[in-house]
């Protein structure tokens, strides 16, 4: 019997191109060498030192940002501590919280790492003509953005959590800037975040490198369409498909609760959101509520 592995790989050319790109980049930047940029440490240790910054950072944040295994990160931190470049401090209030801080020697080494990294970047660009440099820089920016898009995670979350509240505050602030008459959450429907939790609703957060960059909520109504609310995406990641992934996660939550359709409303000022809803299969319908900030009402069959 033929298996999936026996079938022709439709993406073979694309896969070969990605692998060739990976080989070219790792070779060009010296990622395979034990002594990265002429230092006495590997690329992994150098990157941890760089991410620690001059003001210190939570070890968990570094692990999430770099996608490192806990054991491997611990080994890298121990090697940096032996060199006298960092100190790892525990929190008196919570033994699970540890902070990595660079020492004076570590800050000096980090500055030198920055200079050598600049030199490496210049060496990549120097042999190229002006047009080639421009194309390479543009291509690198595109690759970085697309790779980040693939790392975004959309997961259920507590609407009352610190991350959720921060996202909602950013959402409300944006609406206040964009709506002609401003925005007051208390005047909008469903200002109480407790509604966006089981069994009455759901809430999701989108994260990139451990940081919350978007959110969305849905309310469940027995025998009636589910109702999507509070969708927001950080400006820094717009155009990466994060909004569509949040919308898809909310639609799936509605399906899981037996909803046959979903509804939402939006303001005429949110042109990008309106375009996304229409291209995602939403059709405009007559107003189904008295949301004071709404100009358009939409529904989608699931």
Dmax (CA) of the chain: 67
Instruction: Give the pLDDT band of residue 8 (cuts 50, 70, 90).
Output: low
Contacts of 187 (CB under 8 A, 6+ apart): 292, 293
* Residue 233, helix vs strand vs coil: strand
Per residue in 18-70, pLDDT tens? 999 899 989 988 888 888 888 888 899 999 999 988 888 899 889 988 888 99
pLDDT at 1 exceeding the cut of 50: no
Per the CB < 8 A criterion, the answer to whether 57 and 77 are in contact is: no
Task: Identify the bridge partners of residue 214 per DSSP, sorted by sequence position.
Answer: 206, 233
Among the listed residues 113, 138, 194, the one whose alpha carbon sits nearest the alpha carbon of residue 161:
194
Contacts of 245 (CB under 8 A, 6+ apart): 152, 154, 206
Instruction: Give the pLDDT band of residue 133 (cuts 50, 70, 90).
Output: very high
Report the number of secondary-structure helices (H) and strands (E) in the chain: 9, 10
pLDDT of 301: 97
What does the alpha-carbon distance between residue 273 and residue 282 come to, in Å, rounded to a whole number?
A: 11
Which domains, and CATH codes, for the chain?
6-151 (1.10.10.10), 153-301 (3.40.630.30)
Per residue in 76-118, pLDDT tens? 999 999 999 999 988 777 767 889 999 999 999 999 999 999 9
- Residue 95 CB coordination number (10 Å): 8
CA-CA distances (angstroms) from residue 10 to 14, 20, 150, 231, 252?
9, 17, 20, 35, 28
pLDDT of 112: 94
Q: Give the β-pairing of 86-90 and 98-102.
A: antiparallel
Instruction: Give the pLDDT band of residue 191 (cuts 50, 70, 90).
Output: confident
Residue 89's H or E segment, with its range, is: strand 86-90
């Amino acid at each position: 019997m033929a298996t999936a592995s026996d079938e022709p790989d439709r993406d073979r050319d694309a896969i070969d191109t990605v692998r060739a790109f990976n080989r070219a980049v790792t070779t060009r930047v010296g990622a395979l060498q034990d002594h990265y940029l002429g230092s006495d440490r590997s690329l992994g240790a150098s990157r941890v030192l760089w991410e620690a910054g001059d003001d210190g950072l939570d070890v968990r944040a570094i692990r999430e940002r770099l996608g490192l295994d806990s054991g491997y990160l611990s080994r890298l931190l121990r090697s940096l501590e032996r060199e006298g470049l960092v100190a790892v401090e525990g929190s008196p209030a919570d033994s699970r919280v540890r902070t990595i801080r660079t020492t004076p020697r570590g800050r000096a080494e980090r500055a030198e790492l920055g200079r050598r990294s600049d030199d490496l970047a210049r060496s990549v660009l120097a042999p190229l003509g002006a047009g080639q440099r421009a194309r390479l820089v543009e291509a690198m920016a595109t690759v970085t953005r697309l790779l980040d898009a693939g790392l975004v995670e959309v997961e259920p979350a507590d609407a009352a959590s610190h991350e959720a509240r921060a996202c909602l505050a950013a959402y409300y602030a944006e609406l206040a800037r964009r709506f002609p008459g401003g925005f007051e959450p208390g005047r909008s429907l469903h200002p109480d975040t407790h509604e966006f939790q089981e069994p009455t609703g759901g809430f999701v957060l989108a994260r990139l490198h451990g940081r919350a960059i978007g959110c969305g909520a849905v309310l469940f109504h027995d025998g009636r369409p589910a109702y999507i609310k509070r969708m927001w995406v950080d400006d820094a990641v717009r155009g990466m498909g994060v909004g569509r992934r949040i919308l898809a996660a909310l639609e799936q939550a509605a399906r899981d609760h037996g909803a046959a359709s979903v509804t939402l409303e939006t303001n005429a000022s949110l042109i990008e959101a309106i375009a996304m809803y229409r291209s995602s299969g939403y059709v405009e319908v007559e107003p189904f509520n008295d949301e004071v900030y709404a100009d358009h009402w939409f529904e989608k069959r699931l």
